[in-house]
Chains A and B, each alone.
Chain A
Amino acid sequence: MRRHTSLLNTWLQENNELVNKWKRDGGGDIERRDRNPIHLRRCCSEFHKLYRKMQGIPPLADHAYLELFVVYNACVCATAQSQFREVELLLKQALQRALQIAEDNSDPPLFWRGVLKSVRNTALNPCVLYLLCLQWAIWLATCQLETILELKEELSSLCETLCGGVGNDTKIGAMPSENPLLVTDPRRLVELLRICTCIVQSAERLSEGQSSETLADLQSASSLPAPRTLVAYVHFLSGYCLVHMRRPHMALQCYRKALEIDFYCVCALYQSMLIYRQLGNVQAEIQALRLLHSSLMLPSAPDPILPDTHPLYPSLLLCSQSLRNLLSIPSALSVLHTLALKCLRNGRVSEGVEHYLDLLAVLRSEDPDGIRVHADAAPLSRLPEIYLEAGVALLMASRPEDCMVVCDEVISTTLELLPERLVLEEPEDRSKADPRDVSSEGEDKMAMLLWVGAAYLLQGHCHLYLKDWKQAVTHYSRCINLLVKVQYKKKGCQPQIPTSNMVVKQDTNLCILQRLKGLSLAGRGVSFAQTDQLREALRDLLLGLQALPECVGAGLWCGEVLWRLGRRQEAAACWEKTWTLTTQSSVENLPVYLQESQSGPSLDSADLRRKVQELALN
């Protein structure tokens, strides 16, 4: 570009020099001009030469003015020599150039419109239309939807001409021997372009939130001839529209249709699963997840082969980012994880355990089939959490030994990295960061500490289940010892051991910490109670209740211990208080391994109530 401008400057200089020379030599002087025709002729030819030089570069607006000035100069000289024919020719050329410049800057739609108008009703028309098809494909592939919209009418008439007109077809086919062959049938191309355009436009509009208008377009598009993948996309997008219009059941119908047409349209399955989740239909959701996972484990979908080996495949044309977002699905691993967790949370323990074991196996295998992931796929939750969930699942499925092995693995991996002391600071207002980002080292350390704590807790639960009270006490103690390393620091205060009243809802780390503390103290209390160390048991249960007041098990066992200690009034009060507790919804959001274990020694509630009643009667 710099060179270009410098070239422009050179020409400008040359022109000015010529003019100056002309003036200096008295070219403008009337008396002398007659006497100096040679000078005039030389000047004229110099201007001509300069003009010819300038024509060497393509016509551009930024130097057009100079070109026209030079033409003016040359014409003046030539006219003075009475070379009228030459002047006329020069003017004509210059005008053509100017016209070219003016047209060059016009935008492509106008250009095409002009071309189409000029070739209409000529033999060239079909050929130009074919070329327009390709232009369309390029606009589509580069997501220039505005341009396509602008030329909407021309494009639709193009479709009509190419697809509808039978007479046109015969006209082209009249001389098959003389017609050059085409790589691909333009009619197929137009069909493909139409449906792809529709899909991309709908996706764009959906991302802008215009559902109802889009739906109409999509419904009209569903009748277009197209490869099945694309038809499935159309149905999928219709379903998506319906979801936004709050008609989930109709949306499900659309998704079903999409899947019927093309089983590889996995995104429809995924979206159906989301709808079931929204509707609270757990069984259907689990079913959908299972299907989704198995379809993801299939070999990847082959690119749809078009009838006449079309070189332009749909994925080339469907490159809109919003469409890609709509079609995106999580990786097979995270689907499997969701499935396993869902099963676990909804009482399908044995199924959940199977899924968790599958998940762990895939993670550890080298098989690339299991890890077919897109680089931009949503990250899986942290692996230690998955391990702990798997541990809980195993415990719930009455496999405490396996649970302990899994927990051991978490502990052995993490323990070395744990700090001696950790200060948990009051969180500042900040957007929730990606947990995988190495945000602050302290936070990562905190997470690790909590994982190890949870692992110890689970191991304690396992020993409790196995009625190995001593080991249970050991593991619960480990958990407690670990947790007291954490100090909580409020702004402007000294770090201190956190207490339950400090728990703020949004700070999950602190919440988890307190919950772990409460659960482990309660567990140790229960263990002590089983070994008849009632004093220690009472202390731990009370401390546990202090840390986690809503812990039902701790409350019940606290009452039991008090009862055994002969403090029956207190015991009854404790029980009464516990029964009034309602399980809060926040438990749902907590990791599954932080929920109260049901596997330990339990107290019969009816028995307790009878006791209370007896006490009241007494």
Chain B
Amino acid sequence: VMEGRCAVETWAEFGFSGSSCTAKIKSGRVKINPSLRYVDLLQAILQLPGPVTDLVESHDKQFLYVSCTEGVYCVSKPSVLSSSSGDASLAPAELKISSECLVVGEEGVLSLLLLGSVLLLLSQRDTFWILSLYKTTKQAHCGSYEKVSAFSLPAVSAVVQGDTEGRTGVRRRPVLICVHSGDTNASYSSCTSLSEAISSDTHFCLEPLLFKLLFGIDAALAKLPVILCGLPDGRLCFLPMHLPGSRLRVLHSLEQTVMFVGASVVMEMGAGHSQCLVALGEQGRLVLIKTVSGGAEEGCYTAGFIEGCVPGPVVCGLLDKQHLYYSTGADLLSLYLPAGLSWTEDQDRDEETSSKTLAVVQSVSSLNVCRVIALAAPAHRSASDVELLGLSVRGQIQRISFPVETEDTGVPKLPSIHVGCSVRDLLSSIGDVCERASELKAAIKSKNQILKRLNQVLNISFLLIPSANTEEHLSVSEKQIKCSAMIEWSRLLQRDSLNLMCVLHNSSPYTFEQGWTLSITVFPFPHSLTNAGGENSSTSFSFPFHDLQPGETLEVSLPLAAAGDTSFPMRVSCSLIFSLSSLLGEEAALHFSASQSSFISLPLNTLTVDWLHALRLNSPNKKNATSQSNSIPAECIQAFLRSHRTHGCVGRAGAGGESASKAEQERYSASVRVSSHLLRDTLVLKCSDSDPQGPKVAPQNLCLSLLHWLWSEGAGGVMMGHQREKMALSHSVINARGPNGDIVKLTAKEVKSTGKEESLSAIEVRIESSSLAAVCGLHHAVLPRMLLSIIMQLYVFSFLLSCQRLLQEIRQSRLSGAFDVGVSTGQMTRSLLNVYTELRENPLLII
């Protein structure tokens, strides 16, 4: 039977779901206190030193007893309220409860009950359940309370208890209630306090006959209250208070964790005393305890235990006159109790529980309120509506109201106002469910999204991770994802700088989504003698990007070097970095990979920027254009100084080179010779599309195109800037400036090589400069280009090898100089010059 006409209204909300339940207390830790008893508007928040297990309010509403792991704290309510009343309109004050308020220092207290001036604590210690009685005092802070007596009951390590506690790790709170005999008359000493107490849901007035049957004549005669506790092992135990020699005795066993014990009126015939004791287990076992007349021939009453089963799991429960409300976490259910009772009276006892169980189950109706973890009856209730207070998992206190269920639930005949009301209720409950559903949907969607993105990432990773079988065949140009670069000089704020424009090509079928970063690391060549820690001077640039579709490119530009920087050739290493935090969110990623880093780094290719890339053409018009009043004298002075130094130091020793004699300045030079025949073939092959002249290229043209090719063609994955390509070379001489401003001259001319065999026509590329570093660097830059693009697939003369060896030697000496391994400057210079001499004697010839 669907009775979905239930309105839910949120009264108060706690900041986080781990809060305890009365509107006045918040436990400091994660533990949720599943009792909901005294609800006022949110007035104060108390912060206790440990997880709260239970709390009760004194009968005069002056004190609040809170049990924690260390014991029971007593909080005086007026003092709390006065300290927090200053800003009632604002958020409630948060008060820390110190250990001064500790009134009972007993560990492991799970449940509390206040009976008159006696405070009862139920705790579990080792293998015993211990019920301790403490005498309370009126003063709030008077040290610890006096222990009156204690009763113990051996704990049963039942299977039920074992698996629930083992699984959750949470100690179940036993249920502790007090039952009074119904015919309380004026002779009872504390009648007023009792009548107040009975209104709460821990004190019940039971019909006298049932009371006598269950708890004995003695308790009934002296009108003694009886403590009833439902233990997590399923036992219902009772203890008559104030009776010497009494002890905890077992009334019944539910065989599953007792979640709720209460008393209900059920039938409207007595004097308002409850006629039925109800106990509800965690898995839904329900026991109704009521008086049963024991047949005609005996004519006396016995206590009847009627067992049934309702759909579980039961989280909390509440009884009103005829209904049992309980929450399964997913729904709030209502059970009409008389239905369960009348059945067993009609039927024979011989028939077994299956049909009985069925009968109870059928009368359960849903109220469509989910995630309720504690229930309480409100202080005031109206006649027509049932009103409940619930605490949701999220820490909201909700008022749940719905009309009183009528006896004939078959056809509800409602007035039109009620229909509208019920429609509204229905809509609100639909909204509630919808909200929950959409939350779940969103969660699933985001997970799917993450999976999809992770798939992309994985695909890209597989492309980039060099695996033994595929990557060997793929050269850089064949890679689907690669980085290329373009180099350009730019002038900004009167400072020249060399910029590298890096381009990431995505020719793979996958898209780069969020979380990717292009990381470019520049390793300058450990060049300078003074800069010993050359390796450490690498600089990294990272460019986060997202949404790079297949076929798209990403261009980034970064400053490579300023004018005057000569640490060439530079190695530019590109890699792609993926961070998990973009996928999972910051904190999730932190949790996910606390031990290892949450980044995946995938290396791309490595580029080289050499001297040739860094040359600037020394055209006259450009010189005029850029000439400033102060730049020319500076250059002149520099040239002058340099010439002076050259004269003084290395002048005589470095005097060499065929063209050195005619220059007034000492110049160094190096040359490479290539067979013009070979060169012609290669250059024709290379420039066939651009050059209309095609095969018949004059030697002059050949020199020109060689220089042009050297000048503008990219190498090592690095392209030349645009302005260079446009520049037309008219002569076979390039006057350029190196990055540090040295004048460099590149000449190409046709020479007749006089080798051991017949003479060969060859093109000589000569590099001349006054700077040794420039000559070496350029020579080093020119050679690999030639080797790579021209000769590699052809043949190499043996002396090429010796040339390589010489180069190696140069490098060696420079490196050793850089690392300062006991080589004096003079020594190094000498070895360098030796190499040069050798180079001059065996001019490089590439055929």
A374 within 8 A of B: yes
Nearest A residue (CB) for B249: A438
**B187: A residues at CB distance < 8 A:** 364
Q: Are B213 and A436 in contact (CB under 8 A)?
A: no
Query: Which one of B221, B223, B241 has the highest number of Cβ atoms from chain A below 10 Å of its Cβ?
Result: B221
The reply to whether A380 and B243 form a contact with Cβ atoms under 8 Å apart is: yes
Chain A 411-424: CB-based contact to B (< 8 A → 1; otherwise 0): 00110111111000
8 smallest CB-CB distances across A and B, nearest first, come from: A379-B245, A420-B299, A366-B116, A383-B218, A371-B242, A331-B244, A419-B300, A363-B222
Chain B: which residue is nearest A445 at the CB level?
A: B300
- Does A368 contact B118, Cβ atoms closer than 8 Å? yes
Across the interface, which residues of A come within 8 angstroms of B242, CB to CB? 363, 365-366, 370-371
Cross-interface CB contact of B245 among A370, A372, A377, A387, cutoff 8 Å: A377
Given contacts A371-B241, A377-B244, 10 further A-B contacts (CB under 8 A): A365-B242, A368-B148, A371-B243, A372-B148, A378-B244, A379-B245, A383-B222, A409-B221, A417-B301, A448-B217
The residues of A that contact B188 with a CB separation of less than 8 Å are 364
Determine if A410 is an interface residue (Cβ-Cβ < 8 Å): yes
B219 to chain A, nearest CB (A): 8
Contact of B221 among A368, A374, A387 (CB under 8 A): A387
B437 close to A (CB within 8 Å): no
0/1 interface trace, chain B 240-269, chain A, CB 8 Å (1 if under): 011111110000000000000000000000
Q: How many A-B residue pairs have CB under 8 A?
A: 106
**A599 CB-CB contact with B under 8 Å:** no
Of the listed stretches B149-157, B417-425, B667-675, B814-822, chain A binds B149-157
Interface check B44, CB cutoff 8 A: no
B113 to chain A, nearest CB (A): 14
A438 to B246, CA, bound (A): 12
Query: Which residue of chain A is the closest to B148 with respect to CB atoms?
Result: A368
By the criterion CB–CB under 8 Å, are A373 and B221 in contact?
Answer: no
Interchain CA distance A380-B149 in the complex, whole Å: 16
Query: Using a CB-CB cutoff of 8 Å, which residues 141-162 of chain B contact chain A?
Result: 146, 148-152
Query: Which residues of chain B are within 8 angstroms of A373 by Cβ–Cβ distance?
Result: 149, 244-245
Secondary structure class of chain A's binding surface, majority of residues: loop
B191 → chain A closest CB, angstroms: 11
User: Which of these, B150, B212, B300, contacts A413 with CB under 8 Å?
Assistant: B212
Question: How far is B222's CA from A378's CA once the two chains are assembled, in angstroms?
Answer: 19
B245 touches A413 (CB 8 A): no
Query: With an 8 A cutoff between CB atoms, is A2 at the interface?
Result: no
Task: Find chain A residues with CB under 8 A from B224 CB.
Answer: 363-364
Contact of A333 with B by CB under 8 A: yes
A368 touches B301 (CB 8 A): no
Interface of chain B residues 207 through 235 with chain A (CB within 8 A): 208-209, 212-213, 217-218, 220-224
Q: Are A380 and B244 in contact (CB under 8 A)?
A: yes
Q: At the interface, yes or no: B297 with Cβ under 8 Å from chain A? A: yes
Q: Is B629 an interface residue (CB 8 A)?
A: no
Q: Which residue of B lies closest to A387 (CB)?
A: B221
Which of B118, B221, B223, B247 meets A375, CB within 8 Å? B247
User: B247–A420 contact, CB under 8 A?
Assistant: no
Bound together, the chains give a CA A471 to CA B553 distance in angstroms of 116
Q: Which of chain A's residues has its CB closest to B115's CB?
A: A366
CB distance from A616 to the nearest CB of B (A): 53
Interface string of A534-560 (1 = CB under 8 A from B): 000000000000000000000000000
Indicate whether A420 sits within 8 Å of B189 (C-beta atoms), given known contacts A366-B116, A380-B245, A414-B217. Answer: no
Which among A300, A383, A414, A416 has the greatest number of chain B C-beta atoms within 10 A? A383
Q: Does A400 contact B (CB under 8 A)?
A: no
Q: Which of A372, A383, A421 contacts B149 (CB 8 A)?
A: A372
Distance in Å from the Cβ of A363 to the closest Cβ of chain B? 4
Contact code string A381-423 (vs B, CB < 8 Å = 1, else 0)? 0111001000000000000000000000110011011111100
With A363-B222, A364-B187 as known contacts, state yes or no: A382 contacts B244, CB within 8 Å.
Answer: no
B116 touches A382 (CB 8 A): no
Contacts of B247 in A (CB 8 A): 375
CB distance from B125 to the nearest CB of A (A): 14
Which residues of chain A come closer than 8 Å to B241, judged between CB atoms?
371
Is B298 in contact with chain A by the CB < 8 A criterion? yes
Residues of chain A contacted by B212 (CB below 8 angstroms): 413-414, 416-417
| B146: nearest chain-A partner, CB-CB | A300
The answer to whether A334 has its CB under 8 Å from any CB of chain B is: yes
Cβ-defined contact, B217 with A368, below 8 A: no
Jot down 7 A-B pairs with beta carbons below 8 A, ordered by A.
Answer: A365-B189, A375-B247, A387-B221, A410-B221, A413-B208, A413-B221, A445-B300
Tell me if B190 is interfacial: C-beta within 8 Å of chain A.
yes
Does B117 have its Cβ within 8 Å of any Cβ on chain A?
A: yes
A384 to B298, CA, bound (A): 23
B305–chain A nearest beta-carbon distance, Å: 15
Q: Are B221 and A384 in contact (CB under 8 A)?
A: yes
In the complex, are the beta carbons of B213 and A364 less than 8 A apart?
no
Report chain A residues within 8 Å CB of B149.
371-375
Interchain CA distance A414-B216 in the complex, whole Å:
10
Pairwise interchain contact B152-A375, C-beta atoms closer than 8 A:
yes
Q: A364, B300: Cβ atoms under 8 Å?
A: no
Q: Which residues 94-149 in B have Cβ within 8 Å of A in the complex?
A: 115-118, 133, 135, 146, 148-149
Compute how far the CA of A331 lies from the CA of B245 in the bound complex, rounded to whole angstroms.
Answer: 9
Q: Is the CB of A368 within 8 A of B133?
A: yes
One of A375, A377, A445 near B150 (C-beta < 8 A): A375
Q: Which of B146, B218, B223 contacts A382 (CB 8 A)?
A: B218
- On chain A, the residues within 8 Å of B244 by CB distance are 331, 333-334, 371, 373, 377-380
Query: With contacts A334-B244, A378-B245, A379-B246 known, is A420 near B117, CB below 8 A?
Result: no
Measured CA separation A414–B221 after assembly (Å)? 9
Contact B148 A371, beta carbon cutoff 8 Å: yes
In the complex, what distance in Å separates the CA atom of A448 from the CA atom of B221?
Answer: 12
B245: which A residues are within 8 A, CB to CB? 331, 373, 377-380, 436
Nearest A-chain residue to B130, judged by Cβ: A375
Question: How does the 8 Å CB contact mask read for A338-379 relative to B, with 1 for contact and 0 for none?
Answer: 000000000000000000000010011111111111110111
Question: A382–B217 Cα gap in the complex (Å)?
Answer: 9
Give the nearest-CB partner of A366 in chain B: B116
Question: Which one of A365, A366, A417, A445 has the highest number of Cβ atoms from chain B below 10 Å of its Cβ?
Answer: A366
For residue B662, give the distance in angstroms from its CB to the closest CB of chain A: 77
Smallest CB separation, B290 vs chain A (Å) = 14
Known contacts: A368-B133, A368-B135. The answer to whether A420 contacts B300 by CB under 8 A is yes
Q: From residue A389, how far is it (CB to closest CB) to chain B in Å? A: 13
Docked Cα-Cα span, A417 to B187, in Å, equals 23
Please determine whether B217 and A416 come into contact, CB atoms closer than 8 angstroms: no
Q: Quick check: A417 and B213 within 8 Å, CB to CB? A: yes
B729-774 interface with A by 8 A CB criterion: none
Residues of B within 8 A of A366 (CB): 115-118, 189-190, 242
On whether the beta carbons of A418 and B300 are closer than 8 Å, the reply is yes
Q: Which residues of A lie under 8 Å from residue B223 when comparing CB positions?
A: 364
Q: Which residues of A contact B118 (CB under 8 A)?
A: 366, 368
- Residues of chain B within 8 A (CB-CB) of A334 are 244
Which chain B residues border A445 with CB–CB below 8 Å?
300
The answer on a CB contact under 8 Å between B189 and A383 is no
A331, A384, A413, A445: most-surrounded residue (chain B CB, <10 A): A413
Bound-state CA distance A365–B188 (Å) is 7
- Is B221's CB under 8 angstroms from A416's CB? no
| Interface of chain B residues 484 through 529 with chain A (CB within 8 A) | none
Closest to A371 in B: B242
Q: In the complex, which residues of chain A have a beta carbon less than 8 angstroms from the beta carbon of B146? A: 300
A370 / chain B contacts, CB cutoff of 8 Å:
242
Chain A CB within 10 Å, residue with most, of B222, B241, B246: B222
Contact A417 B221 (CB under 8 A): no
Query: Interface readout for B792-803 with A: 1 if CB under 8 Å, 0 if not?
Result: 000000000000
Report which of B117, B150, B189, B246 forms a contact with A368, defined as CB distance below 8 A.
B117
Could you tell me the distance between the alpha carbons of A373 and B187 in the complex, rounded to whole angstroms?
Answer: 24
Q: Mark A155-177, 1 if CB is under 8 A from B, else 0.
A: 00000000000000000000000
- Are A375 and B217 also in contact (CB < 8 A) when A364-B188, A368-B117, A380-B243 are? no
- Shortest CB-to-CB span from A424 to chain B, Å, is 15
